[in-house]
Amino acid sequence: MADYTKKETICVQSGWKPTNGQPRVLPIIQSTTYKYDSSEQMGRLFDLEENGYFYTRLQNPTNDFVAQKICELEGGVAAMLTSSGQAATYYSIFNICEAGDHVVMSSTVYGGSFNLITCTMKKMGIECTVVDPDWSEEELNKAFCENTKCVFAETIANPALVVLDIEKFARVAHAHQVPLIVDNTFATPINCNPFQFGADIVTHSTTKYMDGHAMAVGGAIVDSGNFDWDAYGEKFAGLTTPDESYHGVTYTKKFGKGAYITKATVQLMRDLGSIQSPQNAFLLNVGLETLPLRMERHCSNAQAVAEFLEAHEKVAWVNYPGLKSNKYYELAQKYMPKGSCGVISFGLKGGRSAAEKMMDKLQLAAIVTHVADARTCVLHPASHTHRQMTDEQLVEAGVAPDLIRFSVGIEHIDDIIADLSQALENV
Ligand code: PLP
């Protein structure tokens, strides 16, 4: 049970809670291994009979304190850090899927997730059906097969900024007896808690707003504890029947609501090893302390930039869920009444070449392969993050060839708008 309910307080106070005489700041436990006085106790740790650390590839105390904070922010029961958002996406799915299984995925997910799930996981024998997040429940139902094991989507899609109807996706997933996994990177737990609307697992690229300073690549997975794996025991045999690679442990029997994260830790982390470095977890923790303040500023700045662009004569279109004219305005109000995120996309009347020219003229906003940073940054997804996609896939993913992704930072709004203004004048 968390000590605090207010997210601002959780961000500062949760996770590492020093007792008398301990360091005020979360210590970086820069140790790969841990010492024990008896070999019998070490044996019990290996058997999962006792809680404790034995090797940082599986678990590290610094990481666990930060995971605990993220867990409380999302309202989950268990959480883990991973080395990257990509690792979080992969583990979240692979923890319940194997060769011969099938995933339903929203077409608008981040390009890296799209590639991972439709290409790399396909090579591992996991098939995927791509669905339009705006489809009706009836249309979505048709995507499911006997061997479907989960649904994967993003709260706010990067960079299409499609707002997911989380309740609709949860209903459809649950009707087919599978969990809904939601990548909540862009909204962050400050603006949206997908568990409140029926999502079962949440993932994050902590590299984005959570770190917020472009310092540390990382990821996180949080389990709501709400999905009843045992109710569909045959479907989720990896969780509900003995794991021969782990002394015959049955995760749901032994760990109850902690089953999913325990399996991902002791089996996937053990075998695949995508642990976050304690140093990065420390930096992530520093970022988390100011997340609510930064999200507030990101959102108010982004709203002002979106309104400025919408009124500009050289701008052909603007996509931001905070604009009343936006297709997803109502959904954003429902799921994220405090604000959505600081990312905007737009196109210029001069098309792709004008977009590239304008970006080169920006001075404050830097061209970087990054998003959700304290510093304003800009990217042309068709030439950068999504360049592996065909034109058809780009359209499906909601990425127009002229789309400029503008990640509004926390600088003073006047300076951000002045920079955009001069760049637009020059095209
Ligand atoms: N999910 C989303 C929504 C992202 O934007 C990204 C990266 O941009 C990822 C996952 C992958 O995260 P990482 O770069 O930390 O591996």
Q: pLDDT, tens digit, for every residue of 334-366?
A: 999 999 999 999 999 998 889 989 999 999 999
Residue 247 has pLDDT above 90, yes or no: no
Compute, in angstroms, the gap from residue 205 CA to the centroid of ligand 1: 5
User: Does 224 contact ligand 1 (Cβ within 6 A)?
Assistant: no
What number of other Cβ atoms are within 10 A of residue 124's Cβ?
12
**Where residue 389 falls among pLDDT bands split at 50, 70, 90?**
confident
Compute, in angstroms, the gap from residue 413 CA to the centroid of ligand 1: 26
pLDDT for the residue 385: 77
What number of other Cβ atoms are within 10 A of residue 113's Cβ?
26
Q: b/e map of 221-247 (b: 16 or more CB within 10 Å)?
A: bbbbbbbebeebeebbebbbeebeebe
User: Does 91 contact ligand 1 (Cβ within 6 A)?
Assistant: no
Residue 322 has pLDDT above 60, yes or no: yes
**For residue 319, with 0-12 CB atoms within 10 Å meaning exposed, 13-18 middle and 19 or more buried, which class applies?**
buried
In the DSSP assignment, the letter for residue 231 is G
Residues 160-214 pLDDT 10s: 999 999 999 999 999 999 999 999 999 999 999 999 999 999 999 999 999 999 9
- Quick one: how far is CA 184 from the chain centroid? 4
Compute, in angstroms, the gap from residue 85 CA to the centroid of ligand 1: 5
Residue from 75, 66, 79, 60 nearest 11 by CA? 66
Residue 300 has pLDDT above 70, yes or no: yes
For the CA of 157, the nearest atom of ligand 1: 3
Residues 200-212 pLDDT 10s: 999 999 999 999 9
Report d(CA 218, CA 89) in Å as an integer.
11
- Residues with Cβ within 8 Å of residue 87, at least 6 apart in sequence: 219, 272, 274
Average pLDDT over residues 316-320: 97
For the CA of 86, the nearest atom of ligand 1: 16
Residues 110-162 pLDDT 10s: 989 999 999 999 999 999 999 999 999 999 999 999 999 999 999 999 989 99
Compute, in angstroms, the gap from residue 70 CA to the centroid of ligand 1: 17
Question: What stretches of 300-370 adopt beta strand conformation (E)?
Answer: 315-319, 343-348, 366-367
More confident residue, 390 or 322: 322
User: Does 84 contact ligand 1 (Cβ within 6 A)?
Assistant: yes
Compute, in angstroms, the gap from residue 415 CA to the centroid of ligand 1: 28
Residue 250 has pLDDT above 90, yes or no: yes
What number of other Cβ atoms are within 10 A of residue 20's Cβ?
4
pLDDT for the residue 290: 98
**Where residue 1 falls among pLDDT bands split at 50, 70, 90?**
low
pLDDT for the residue 349: 94
User: Does 265 contact ligand 1 (Cβ within 6 A)?
Assistant: no
Q: Which of 82, 89, 106, 110 to mutate to test the pocket of ligand 1 (most atoms within 8 A of CB)?
A: 110
Q: Which residue bears the tokens 């904070």?
A: 69
The closest residue, in CA terms, to atom 11 on ligand 1 is 85
Average pLDDT over residues 390-397: 77
User: Does 106 contact ligand 1 (Cβ within 6 A)?
Assistant: no
Average pLDDT over residues 55-67: 97
Q: Residue 420, SS3?
A: helix
User: Does 373 contact ligand 1 (Cβ within 6 A)?
Assistant: no
Compute, in angstroms, the gap from residue 34 CA to the centroid of ligand 1: 32
User: Does 85 contact ligand 1 (Cβ within 6 A)?
Assistant: yes
Bridge partners, 398 (sequence order): none
User: Does 62 contact ligand 1 (Cβ within 6 A)?
Assistant: no
Kindly state the tokens that stand for 251: 């995760």
At position 300, the amino acid (one-letter code) is S
Compute, in angstroms, the gap from residue 88 CA to the centroid of ligand 1: 9
The closest residue, in CA terms, to atom 13 on ligand 1 is 85
User: Does 217 contact ligand 1 (Cβ within 6 A)?
Assistant: yes
Residue 38 has pLDDT above 70, yes or no: yes
User: pLDDT averaged over the chain?
Assistant: 96
Bridge partners, 343 (sequence order): 407
pLDDT for the residue 114: 94
- Quick one: how far is CA 83 from the chain centroid? 13
Q: What domains lie within the chain, and their CATH numbers?
A: 7-286 (3.40.640.10), 292-425 (3.90.1150.10)
User: Does 185 contact ligand 1 (Cβ within 6 A)?
Assistant: yes
pLDDT for the residue 374: 98
Average pLDDT over residues 400-414: 94
Report d(CA 337, CA 74) in Å as an integer.
16
**Where residue 36 falls among pLDDT bands split at 50, 70, 90?**
very high
Q: Residue 243, SS3?
A: strand
pLDDT for the residue 386: 78
Kindly state the tokens that stand for 313: 């004569």
Average pLDDT over residues 397-409: 89
For residue 14, what are the CA distances in angstroms to 6, 88, 189, 303?
11, 22, 14, 30
| Stated pTM of the model | 0.97
pLDDT for the residue 399: 80
For the CA of 89, the nearest atom of ligand 1: 10
Average pLDDT over residues 309-322: 98
Q: Which of 158, 217, 221 to mutate to test the pocket of ligand 1 (most atoms within 8 A of CB)?
A: 158
DSSP letter string over 71-126?
A: HHHHT-SEEEEESSHHHHHHHHHHTT--TT-EEEEETTS-HHHHHIIIIIHHHTT-
Compute, in angstroms, the gap from residue 207 CA to the centroid of ligand 1: 7
Average pLDDT over residues 82-107: 98
Give the whole-number percent of the chain exceeding pLDDT 90. 89
Residue 317 has pLDDT above 60, yes or no: yes
The closest residue, in CA terms, to atom 1 on ligand 1 is 205
Please say whether the beta carbons of 219 and 85 come within 8 A.
Answer: yes
pLDDT for the residue 383: 80
Please say whether the beta carbons of 227 and 178 come within 8 A.
Answer: no
User: Does 203 contact ligand 1 (Cβ within 6 A)?
Assistant: no
User: Does 154 contact ligand 1 (Cβ within 6 A)?
Assistant: yes
Average pLDDT over residues 74-89: 98
Sheet of 201-205, strand order: 78-82, 219-223, 201-205, 180-183, 148-154, 102-106, 127-131
For residue 297, what are the CA distances in angstroms to 125, 157, 365?
44, 20, 16
